[in-house]
Amino acid sequence: MRLIPLGDSAVTVELGEAIDPDVNALAVAYANRIAAQGWSGIVDVVPTYRSITVHYDPLRWDLTALTDRLLALPCPYPREAEPQGTLHDIPVLYGGNQGPDLEGVASFAGLEPSEAIALHASVCYRVYMLGFTPGFPYLGLLPEKLAMPRLPTPRPSVPPGSVGLADRQTGIYPIATPGGWRLIGRTPIPLYRRTGLDPFLLKPGDLVRFRPIDQDEFERLSREMAHEHDRPQQRPR
Amino acid sequence: MKRKRTEIDVVKPGWLTTVQDLGRHGYQRYGMPVSGVMDRFAAIVGNRLVGNPDRAAVLECTLKGPELFFRDDARLAVTGADLSPTLDGNDIPLWECLNVRRGSRLRFGTRRIGFRCYLAIAEGFDVPTVLGSRSTHSPSQTGGLDGRPLRAGDLLFGGPFDGDAEQLVGRRLPDRLLPRYDRSAILRVVLDSRREFFQDAAVSTLLHSVYTVAPQSDRMGYRLIGPPLPRAGAHHFISEGTATGALQVPADGQPILLMADRQTTGGYPPIAVVISADLPFAAQLGPGDTVRFVSCSIVEAQALLRTRHHLLDAALPPITVNRRSLGQKKSDGGSS
């Protein structure tokens, strides 16, 4: 474990050297444990691939006091403290206008587009972390065969719901943003609902499985989601 | 008795005017940027001058301020950048609590110094809280006024005018506490303790060069143009949490200074982080302005911030009472 101060109001706790599901499970569990202490003046606890960034109010904490408290906190073992992440089934319309890079990714992998879809949908992915935009999940690990590097030039705008991949990661764009990942499909399920009480569909440590759907189902689900958007939201779990 | 809120018409929106408070904390783990005011010192002073808690929502006006018409009496303070504010054609002082009569018109002129100006109003601008904050994050259309900057024709609400608080009028920030904004800023930084991501020359280049704020700079970050900071090729950087003030260095070596709307995680290594006490001065830089960096320890950085706040507290004590309607609409739904 390595403590890396990030300026005068954050510190990163590094738990491992590489992207690894066990190290990440430890990061999520440890972040939950830190957040659960309810220490006042700790403003954000952010688990990432293999580390946690703790943001603190420098008027209420100094670095020594904070690191002493962090080091005194028993570090959970990955399987012990982490509640099993929720498994999400994400329907995706692959290819066509919704996934303009599918053919390119398939030929990169030496596969037919249908085989590339099957391979992408065959893995149960882990939500390693959220970042980039509200609710954007970094999912891994993508099968080696599909691990194509990002586009040389990012697209100026990627439509919300687009499913992309880059290297050993796959992800979903929750809002329209510029983006450099290869787009292979699109989901009608919103990942970020700005008017919801719990606006974020996915949480660190959750699991995601993609389910290929056809155009009809995509349109039907899109209509249902638009309708659901108008209804009051459930309380967060 | 329910008192009427102050109504304000947005006649012209200005270049980029948003509702902001001290930021949306607690959701960075879901990728939600913190947002909030870029210059915390100016916003906090504005709020204290008009008798608000520090976290009340203010308007952040950028480069060219809005034109506002007051349908009701109001109490306000203008702080931060000097964008030549006038009330019915007469210059008004910055960093001072003022009363405004109904029918008055607030306008802004040319940029004298600084880049972002704050308008605080008694009891704060009333917009719904979203995830615990009134701050606007435009890219995700979250918070503020329907998640976007002000537009002509918008109607803003401030708290009810409180005639009992007459003693606030004319109260101002003592001169010795006035920030001196400079278009050639010197910002203190805490260097990152890791050296494996950069060549040895990078830190000395950073500390001995002048960088210019590029035109493609915004509330997310400033692109800085100047001598490149050479990365060490061998080490791959795995995405991790970012901080406001961090100087991220992409492969081309041109640093990006992360600001209020920064991404919560980043894939470029940080070489240093601007200290909290100097972020307000960074917030007042615009494209074409220049910046130099000076190294500082964490202990020193935190001591500077504490000193500044002690001085401010002595001059303008924080308002802690939970006055009437500060909670205002407690809806967590952003639609209005």
Query: What are the mean pLDDT values of chain A's consecutive 10-residue runs (237 residues total)?
Result: 95 93 92 93 97 97 95 72 82 98 98 98 97 96 95 92 96 94 97 87 96 97 82 44
**Domain match, A41 and A72 both:** yes
**Domain match, A93 and A8 both:** no
**Domain match, B168 and B26 both:** yes
**Domain match, A104 and A200 both:** yes
pLDDT in tens, B21-39: 999 999 999 999 999 999 9
pLDDT value for A222: 95
Query: In one letter, which amino acid is B216?
Result: Q
**Domain match, B292 and B234 both:** yes
Q: What mean pLDDT do residues B204-220 have?
A: 97
Residue B16 token pair: 């980029």
| Domain count of the fold of chain B | 2
| Domain count of the fold of chain A | 2
Which CB contacts under 8 angstroms, 24+ apart, belong to A151-159?
A: A151/A101, A151/A180, A151/A181, A151/A182, A153/A180, A154/A178, A154/A179, A154/A180, A155/A179, A155/A180, A155/A183, A158/A183, A159/A186
**Domain match, A69 and A127 both:** no
Residues of A in contact with B238 (CB under 8 A): 18-19, 48-50
**Domain match, A93 and A54 both:** no
**Domain match, B192 and B259 both:** yes
Query: Which of B239-254 are b and which e, b meaning 16 or more Cβ less than 10 Å from the residue's Cβ?
Result: bbbbbbbbbbbbeebb
> Is the pLDDT reported for residue B298 higher than 90?
yes
Three-point CA angle B127, B130, B133, nearest 5°: 75
**Domain match, A136 and A39 both:** no
Full residue range of the structural domain in which residue B161 is found: 6-173
**Domain match, A74 and A95 both:** no
**Domain match, B195 and B146 both:** no
- Residue A7, domain member (yes or no): yes
CA pair distance A48, A55, nearest whole angstrom: 14
CATH of the domain at A62: 3.30.1360.40
Whether residue A137 contacts residue A127, with contact meaning beta carbons closer than 8 Å, is answered with yes
Query: In one letter, which amino acid is B315?
Result: A
pLDDT value for A81: 54
CATH of the domain at B229: 2.40.100.10
**Domain match, A120 and A182 both:** yes
> Is the pLDDT reported for residue B20 higher than 70?
yes
Are B246 and A6 within 8 A, CB to CB? yes
CA pair distance A167, A151, nearest whole angstrom: 11
pLDDT value for B163: 65
CA pair distance B126, B119, nearest whole angstrom: 13
CA pair distance A108, A84, nearest whole angstrom: 35
- Residue A64, domain member (yes or no): yes
**Domain match, A28 and A119 both:** no
Mutation site for A-interface testing, chosen from B129, B135, B136, B264 by largest number of A Cβ within 10 Å: B264
How distant, in Å, are the alpha carbons of A98, A144, B100 from that of B154?
36, 52, 19
**Domain match, B24 and B164 both:** yes
pLDDT value for B283: 98
pLDDT in tens, B130-150: 999 999 999 999 999 999 999
- Residue B335, domain member (yes or no): no
pLDDT value for B159: 80
Residues of A in contact with B32 (CB under 8 A): 134-135, 200
SS3 call for A227 = helix
> Is the pLDDT reported for residue B323 higher than 60?
no
**Domain match, B100 and B239 both:** no
pLDDT value for B326: 47
- Residue B12's pLDDT band, with cuts at 50, 70 and 90, is very high
Among B11, B58, B10, smallest CA distance to B37 is for B58
Phi-psi region of B55 (alpha: psi -120 to 50; beta: other; left: phi over 0): alpha
Residues of A in contact with B242 (CB under 8 A): 6, 53
Helix (H) or strand (E) holding A63: helix A63-72
pLDDT value for A83: 66
- Residue A235, domain member (yes or no): no
CATH of the domain at A115: 2.40.100.10
Residues of B in contact with A51 (CB under 8 A): 240-241
Whether residue B55 contacts residue B152, with contact meaning beta carbons closer than 8 Å, is answered with no
Q: Which of B173, B204, B234 is the last residue of a domain?
A: B173
Whether residue B77 contacts residue B56, with contact meaning beta carbons closer than 8 Å, is answered with no
- Residue A236, domain member (yes or no): no
pLDDT in tens, B43-90: 999 999 999 999 999 999 999 999 999 999 999 999 999 999 999 999
Full residue range of the structural domain in which residue A164 is found: 87-229
**Domain match, B132 and B22 both:** yes
pLDDT value for B195: 85
- Residue B324, domain member (yes or no): no
- Residue B155, domain member (yes or no): yes
Listed range (A114-118, B193-197, B217-221) with the worst mean pLDDT: B193-197
Comparing A196 with B285, the larger pLDDT belongs to B285
Are B264 and A50 within 8 A, CB to CB? no
Strand residues in B49-96 grouped as ranges (E): 58-62, 67-70, 74-82, 85-87, 90-91
Whether residue A98 contacts residue A173, with contact meaning beta carbons closer than 8 Å, is answered with no
Which distant-in-sequence residues (6+ apart) come within 8 Å of B25 by Cβ? Answer: A43, A44, A55, B34, B132, B133
SS3 call for B206 = helix
pTM of this prediction? 0.93
Q: How far is A129 from chain B (nearest CA, A)?
A: 8
- Residue A54, domain member (yes or no): yes
Main-chain phi, psi angles of A19, to 5 degrees = -80, 115
- Residue A75, domain member (yes or no): yes
- Residue A234, domain member (yes or no): no
Among B117, B114, B171, B155, smallest CA distance to B6 is for B155
